[in-house]
Amino acid sequence: MKRFWPQSLKGQLLLAVAVALLIAQAFSALLLYRSQAERRDAAVIHAAAFRLVSSRQPEPRDRPRRHDQELIDAPRSLRLETATQSPLRSGEHHDSRAETEIRQILADLAFPATDVVVTRRTLAHDQVARERVERRAALVGAPRVPLSREVLVAGVHTPDNVWLVARVLVPPGERGLVMTLIGQTLMIYAVLVGAIALALRRITRPLAALATRLEQFAQTRDAKSQLEPEGPDDVRRLIVAHNAMEDRIADLLNEKDVMLGAIGHDLKTPLAALRVRIESVEDDAERTKMAATIEDIVRTLDDILSLARVGRPRDPCEPTELSALVSSVVEEFEDMGDPVELGDMVRVVAPLRATWLRRALRNLIGNALRYGKVAHVALSREQDWAVIRITDEGPGIADADIARMQEPFARGEPSRNSETGGAGLGLALARAIADQHGGTLTLANRYLPDGTVAGLTAELRLPLE
C-alpha cells in the first residue's frame, strides 16, 4: 500500500483533493440518478393513470388495427384493454407506491374504482405489449425494442366488475446522463486539480529547496549558499528564520573551533614541559609511570578534540581503495607485535576521508586487542555498502550496555586505567566518523552453540557512493 501512496506533500494533497472530489461527484451522481428515476417513474405512473381515465369504454382486444395511428402518435403508451380478472399473475409483486399514486389520481378525478393493481414485468413476459410494440415497429420502421424493456401494467377494477388494464413502456435510463457526469467530472478535475497543483507548486518548491539545503548544511555545516526567501509569506518567514539559524550555528561552531584550538594549545604546552621535567626524576620506575600518565592525558585530549571536530570536517571525501587502507592500518599493529589477523578482503573503492577512517579503525582494533587479546579484520562488499568487520575473542559486552558503550566517556569498567579501556572515547569517536561518512557502526556479541559468548564483532558500514 505504501508504494502506491505519494510521499511528497504535493502528491498527498492532490490525492486527497482527487479522492474527495470523486466521492462528492459519486454522491451527486447518485442523487441525480435517483431524481431522474423518480421523475421517470412518476411520468410512467401518470401516463398509466391518464390512459385509465381517458376512456371509460375501451374497445375489445380483438379489434385489430383501430388504434394503430394512436400507437404511432404515442409510442410509449399501449392502448387500454378490458379483462374479467386482475392482471396480476401468480408470483408477481405489487408496486405499492404506484398503486397508491394511481388510486389518489383516480380519486381526485372521481373515477369509480373498487381496486387498483400495479405490477412490472419485462416485455418478454407480456405478450400483449410485445405484439403491439412489434406491430408499431413494422408500421413506422422503428428499431426493435429490446425484450428486456420494462412494462408497467396497471389494472383498475370498476363497479361493473370489469378490469381496465393499461400498459406503459418504462423509458430506459438516460444514457446521456452518464456521459454528462463524466464530462463534468473531468472538467472539474482539470480546473480544480490544476489550480490546486499550481498553488501547491508555489508552496512546495521552496519547501523542497529548504529540505535540500537542510541536508546540505547537516553535512557541511557551511552557512554559504543560503536560500533566497520565496513563496507564500509563511514559507518566506520560515526560510528567513532558517537562514538566521544557520548563521548562528555556524558562528557557534567557529567559536567552538577557536576555543578547542586554544584549549589544545594551552594544555599541550605544559604537558610538553612536563615531559622535559620528568627526565630529571632519578627513579626509573617513577619516571616511567609519570611519562605514561602524560601520554594518557595527551591521548585523551586528542580524542576529545577529534570528537569535537569530527562533525565539521574540512577535507573532502576522495575515492580511496579501502582494502589498501585497511591493510596498512593492520600492518601498523603487526609492526608493533600485536596479534592482528587480516582475513578475507575484496577490492573496494569508496569516497572517504582517509585520515579520519584510519583513526576509526585504530580505535576499533585497539579496543579488540585491549579486551579480546586478538583482533580479526575482514572487508566485504554487500550491495552498495563496504563492510569492515573487526572481531575479537573477549568476553563481549552485555546486550543492555551495547548502545551505552558507544556514548562518550562510557566504559565497561569503573577504572580509568589506560590498560583497561582509557577514557571511553574510542567507540564514540569511531561511531562519529562512521556518521560523518554516511555509514553506521554496530556492535554485536558472537555466541557459541552452547550460548557462551565467543567475542564481540564491530561492524563498520560505509556507502560506496
pLDDT score of 60: 46
Quote the CA–CA distance of 23 and 306 in Å, as a whole number.
60
Q: Is the pLDDT of residue 464 over 70?
A: yes
Q: Is the pLDDT of residue 437 over 80?
A: yes
Burial class (CB in 10 A: 0-12, 13-18, 19+), 250: middle
Is 101 domain-assigned? yes
Q: How many CB atoms lie within 10 A of CB 4?
A: 6
pLDDT score of 74: 41
Q: pLDDT-derived band of residue 380, with 50, 70 and 90 as boundaries? A: very high
pTM exceeding 0.85: no
Q: Which of 153, 173, 193 is the last residue of a domain?
A: 173
Q: Are 359 and 306 in contact (CB under 8 A)?
A: yes
Quote the CA–CA distance of 174 and 409 in Å, as a whole number.
80
Secondary-structure breakdown of the chain: helix, strand, coil percentages, each rounded to the nearest 5: 55, 15, 30
Is 197 domain-assigned? no
Paired with 380 in beta bridges are 387
Q: Which of 140, 173, 206 is the last residue of a domain?
A: 173
Domain that holds residue 347: 316-463
Q: Which residues contact 312 (CB under 8 A, 6 or more apart)?
A: 221, 253, 257
Is 26 domain-assigned? no
Is 353 domain-assigned? yes
Q: Is the pLDDT of residue 2 over 60?
A: no
Q: What is the pLDDT of residues 141-173, one digit of tens each?
A: 767 788 888 899 999 998 888 899 998 988 876
pLDDT score of 389: 93
Q: Is the pLDDT of residue 301 over 80?
A: no
Taking the CA of residue 89 as centre, how many other CA atoms within 13 Å lie in the half-sphere pointing to its CB? 7
Burial class (CB in 10 A: 0-12, 13-18, 19+), 207: middle
Q: What is the average per-residue pLDDT within 28-40?
A: 83
Is 405 domain-assigned? yes
DSSP helix/strand/coil, 54: helix
Is 370 domain-assigned? yes
Sheet holding 375-382, edge to edge: 340-342, 375-382, 385-392, 453-463, 440-447
Total count of domains within the chain: 2
* Element (DSSP H or E) covering residue 242: helix 233-277
- Give how far Cα 110 sits from Cα of 103, 158, 200, 299, Å: 10, 12, 66, 115
**What is the per-residue DSSP string for 309-363?**
HTTS--SPPEEEEHHHHHHHHHHHHHHTT--EEE------EEEE-HHHHHHHHHH
Q: What is the average per-residue pLDDT within 277-301?
A: 79
Is 454 domain-assigned? yes
Q: What is the pLDDT of residues 208-265, one digit of tens each?
A: 888 888 888 877 777 778 888 888 888 889 999 989 998 888 888 778 777 777 777 7
The domain that holds 340 is classified in CATH as: 3.30.565.10
Is 210 domain-assigned? no
Going by the DSSP 8-state scheme, the letter that residue 59 receives in this structure is: P
Q: Which of 117, 149, 173 is the last residue of a domain?
A: 173
Q: How many CB atoms lie within 10 A of CB 183?
A: 11
Q: What is the pLDDT of residues 103-146, one digit of tens each?
A: 999 888 888 888 999 999 998 888 888 888 888 778 777 677 88
Cα–chain center distance at 435: 27
